[in-house]
Structure 1
């Protein structure tokens, strides 16, 4: 008697669960990891079984959400997606955002999609209001979103999960929420933080402070790269010259405050979270008559227009703004065509 393939055993069990009423239309299946533990099979075998079940129409798989019995969370054939993409961005007309958003829109328009850009102003409440309205209106736009203060607890996660359960493709850019299995397109922030720190080290600096944002994932990862570069060079981490500031502080409070330079005044080099932070810190140095780069060297990340507008040219790690925008749009298009696409 021929041996039944492992993936077929998984399929048979799921069919049985549906036939006996243990699973109903719209029910979410156990995760790949849970099924792997249940059967003692590899994740690859589980994925093969789920793929076959999807082909035969028994289940539908929603990227970042899971697998559902017969056609998604509603148990019916999904309503077609619209030909418009909604983009949620912290800002739209400043810093690096215009280049990213323009690149996204260009790629989407080439494929016949219009775009609607909504900005959150990096406020969690605004993000919540936008997502709630999208759910209330039964909007079928695929979504590209920039997470808001992604290093903080995310109480908007259930709203994103509801969008996924409705079969709406969602893709993050610039950063991501760790508690959501939603794909993202982002800069390698850890490598960027390491790169600019290593640049200061290569110039002979040993007393290197840093100014980082503490409420988004980029700041945490850039700080990690900073630490790694110091340790690999045999330089100990002195946390007294590590300064943390949140998004509101960076936008509105850093310029008049002197606490940053008070903490970092004996440093010869400072790694800044981004060009905006370095720009404002340069202004503080000028007020205190601290020469940049004569007395203190600043490095930053993004290589935005601010590096040229600064009182002295800044050394900054380049951000592939256009490339990131294009890749984000192309990945979303791939997710629309194939919900199982690994973005």
Structure 2
């Protein structure tokens, strides 16, 4: 069986140098690193994870906190994050947190029972004990897609309100002034995107009308269809609709069709997130695109840096978003 000593001998380096490469440390010269990696590839050597962890005092395991029922956007992000964690040599443990306090407590209890090198949180948690535990135990943490005031953790996100403002402003440029909104009541992004909706109306001199806003109970297509139904039942008039997620937007398009209203002929619709399905729906959905790949890659790279650096300081990074114009919007007739 090939051992780390065999790799060191074949590459002409010390065992400690091979160990540094296996543990993704940077203090190895490029030519030595290349020889070590070549020797590993040549021999098919697989490191003994348990032995490596004992020496490095790391578990090589990263926890990912996710909602119990995650949407298409979170599913895509999770896939990217897991792939890049594997490339960095980490194993992944999953921790599902439902949206109530009991579910978050149960998630925290499971998390406390494991030894982890770091945590990536894809799902906002409201429980103060969650934040306190991670900070008090100095567990490297990255918040992916959101930031939280007072939480000393690295975060990667976009400017939610600015993105929503751009989406609604586009509808206004198309001549729409009666613009409805499907929002939500959970998580910070919902209030931030609703604030962007309000800002766009204000900048255009359009009064905010609460009757044109419906709140979905859940952020899926069924929630969007039900919220759309409440808007129509209230007899409020609108020629355009902004939904704070793509799934809500796609559900609203289905709801409009059920009432013999066409998109964009009768109502223009804009979503948010640019999930994969948005480019295959009929009509294809105009939306805000979050940089999912960059967000996932950066979340993993930053967490790795926090794990391997003795003096890693938390940072807040706002990534750029893009507006994607497709077929669900049109000039007001």
Contact 1:81 1:168 in 2 (8 A): no
Among 112, 115, 119, the alignment partner of 1:143 is 119
Tell me, what secondary structure is at the counterpart of 2:283? coil
Alignment of 1:148-163 (within 5 A): 148=124, 154=126, 156-163=127-134
Instruction: Tell me by how many angstroms 1:161 deviates.
Output: 1.1
Q: Distance in 1 between matches of 2:235 and 2:286?
A: 19
Deviation for aligned residue 1:238: 1.6
Question: Could you tell me how far 1:255 is from its partner in structure 2?
Answer: 3.3
Task: Tell me the CA shift for residue 86 of structure 1.
Answer: 0.6
What is aligned with 2:109?
Answer: 132
- State which of 84, 99, 106 in structure 2 corresponds to 1:107: 84
Partner of 1:58: none
CA spacing shift, 1:147–1:82, aligned 2, 3 Å = same
Write out aligned runs for 1:40-189 (5 A): 80-90=57-67, 94-135=71-112, 137=113, 139-148=115-124, 154=126, 156-178=127-149, 180-189=151-160
Aligned to 1:342: 314
By how many angstroms is 1:269 displaced?
A: 0.7
What does the per-residue CA deviation read over 1:247-277, in whole Å, with 9 as the maximum and x for residues that have no partner? 37x5655535621323474111111011100
Counterparts of 1:283-322 in structure 2, within 5 Å, are 283-322=254-293
Asked whether the equivalents of residues 212 and 245 of structure 1 are also in contact (C-alpha less than 8 Å), the reply is: yes
- Name the TM-score, length of structure 1 as normaliser: 0.68
Which stretch of the first structure deviates more once superposed, 228-237 or 211-220?
228-237
For residue 169 of structure 2, the aligned residue among 187, 192, 198 is 198
CA shift for structure 1 position 166: 1.6
Q: Distance in 2 between matches of 1:186 and 1:115?
A: 22
Cα-to-partner distance string for 1:28-57 (whole Å, 9 max, x where unaligned) = xxxxxxxxxxxxxxxxxxxxxxxxxxxxxx
- Does residue 272 in structure 1 map to residue 243 in structure 2? yes
| Alignment partners' CA distance in 1, 2:274 and 2:149 | 27
1:340 is displaced (CA, Å) by: 3.2
Distance in 2 (CA, whole Å) between partners of 1:251 and 1:88 is 23
CA distance in 2, matches of 1:178, 1:274: 23
Cα pair 1:270 1:298 within 8 Å, conserved: yes
Structure 2 counterparts to residues 20-35 of structure 1, below 5 A: none
- Structure 1 distance, partners of 2:197, 2:235, is 15
Gaps of 5+ in 2: 1-55, 316-333
Give the aligned length: 258
Q: 1:261 aligns with which of 232, 241, 263?
A: 232
Q: Distance in 2 between matches of 1:335 and 1:281?
A: 42
Pick which of 313-322 and 239-248 moved more: 239-248
Any conservation in 2 of the 1:131–1:160 contact (CA below 8 Å)?
no
Tell me the CA shift for residue 99 of structure 1. Answer: 2.8
| Alpha-carbon spacing, 1:302–1:264, altered in 2? closer, same or farther (3 Å) | farther
Moved more, 324-333 or 162-171: 162-171
CA contact (8 A) 2:63 2:116 kept: no
Aligned to 2:205: 234
Match in the other structure for 1:219: 190
Q: 1:309 to 1:138 in 2, by over 3 A?
A: closer
Q: CA deviation at 1:124?
A: 4.3
**What is the alpha-carbon distance in structure 1 between the residues aligned to residue 200 and residue 286 of structure 2?**
17
CA shift at 1:123, angstroms? 4.8
Residues 164 and 252 (structure 1), Cα distance of their counterparts in 2 relative to 1, 3 Å cut: same
